[in-house]
Amino acid sequence: MAENESTKVCSLCAETIQTTAKVCPHCRYWQKRWSLQNPQIWMTLGILSFVVALACFGIFYDNAFGPKEQFAAYRDEITIVSSQFSRRISVSGCDSNVNVYVTVVGTLTNRSNVTWKDVGVEAQFLDKSGKQFDAITVNADGYRGTTVLPHGEAAFKIEGRAAQPESDYGTYKVIVRWAKDVNQIF
């Protein structure tokens, strides 16, 4: 069949088609590859959009949930500068229940370059022979602890009901148990 002005040859299947045809009726190949009406263009743009969105999500996920500084590597960088111990007696109700509360307040310092939040402090109480007999640790659940800036100081307070007679609480030591990198979400 001779080709005239009203027909052309499909570049994919080599069949003769009309010049004005947008799609080959034989192989369904679009004659104008870069036409916005071509579904392949929309599919390609959709795939590219999905890849870009996936990359953006990956960057967000890594920043939000990716590896953060682990406290164990910095444990010796957060230290107790000073602390004071006190006892408080509380009488409750008409039955005269006496409760002794022990409180430790103090200051800690951060010698690292990381900002730490929810710093957990524990007071350990020792008997005359140096053995631990009681401890007060800040409860991690719902604890809104101290935040310590890099090379900064912060105050802390821990308090709890005494488990032993008041006279036993003479010697104590305070240690930092945990902290979270301020960039951690959970």
Per this entry, what is the length of the chain? 186
Q: Can you list the residues of the chain whose pLDDT is less than 70?
A: 1-4, 63-67, 92-97, 139-144, 184-186
pLDDT of residue 164: 86
Architecture of the domain spanning 71-181: Distorted Sandwich (2.70)
Residues 74, 68 contacting (CB under 8 angstroms): no
- What is the DSSP secondary structure assignment for residue 172, as one 8-state letter? E
Strand partners, 161: 101
pLDDT of residue 142: 47
**Where along the chain do its domains lie?**
7-65, 71-181
pLDDT of residue 8: 92
Report how far residue 72's alpha carbon sits from residue 118's, in angstroms, rounded to the nearest whole number.
14
Report how far residue 81's alpha carbon sits from residue 154's, in angstroms, rounded to the nearest whole number.
10
pLDDT of residue 77: 93
| Residue written as token pair 């010698």 | 111
pLDDT of residue 185: 58
Report how far residue 74's alpha carbon sits from residue 80's, in angstroms, rounded to the nearest whole number.
14
pLDDT of residue 163: 87
